[in-house]
Amino acid sequence: MPGQRLDKWLWCARLAKTRTGAARLIEAGKIRINGDRVLKSSRLVQSGDVVTAAFVGRVAVVRVLAAVERRGPASLARTLYEDLTPPAADSDGRQGPRPTKRDRRRLDALRNSDP
């Protein structure tokens, strides 16, 4: 793959709703390729590049696997990249789901029991 414009790739991979929206993200400095901030939509992405995108409230890290000429269905878009985004942490830094009420009672009982 010789390369594809970054704004077009973001749009085809469905990481941006519109190509204009992708261009705005790039111009705002919200996109990085291999750790380097990109400010031009015309920057080419190639297979193997790692793209980091900072959206409102979340960050996406993906590795470029392929490019397409035309935007297709979402199932095709998922084949264009490998998702490397780390799992989200809770507000207090913990990862994973919150315990249920039943689990919480069991944990409290274990903590309050005498050894």
The mean per-residue pLDDT over the stretch 64-82 comes to 94
Question: Which SS3 state, helix, strand or coil, does residue 103 take?
Answer: helix
The per-residue pLDDT for 97 is 77
And the tokens for 100?
């249920």
Residues listed for the chain:
115
Domain enclosing residue 102, as ranges: 4-112
CATH code (residue 41): 3.10.290.10
Work out how many domains the chain is built from and give that number: 1
Dist. CA 10–CA 83, nearest whole Å: 13
The average confidence (pLDDT) of the chain is: 90
Confidence class of residue 114 from pLDDT cuts 50, 70 and 90? low
Is the whole-model pTM more than 0.85? no
- Mean pLDDT, to the nearest integer, of 74-103? 82
Query: Do 1 and 46 form a contact (C-beta atoms < 8 A)?
Result: yes
Q: Give the C-alpha separation, 46 to 44, whole Å.
A: 7
| Residues 14, 8 contacting (CB under 8 angstroms) | no
Greater pLDDT, 3 or 87: 3
What confidence category does residue 90 fall into, taking pLDDT thresholds of 50, 70 and 90? low
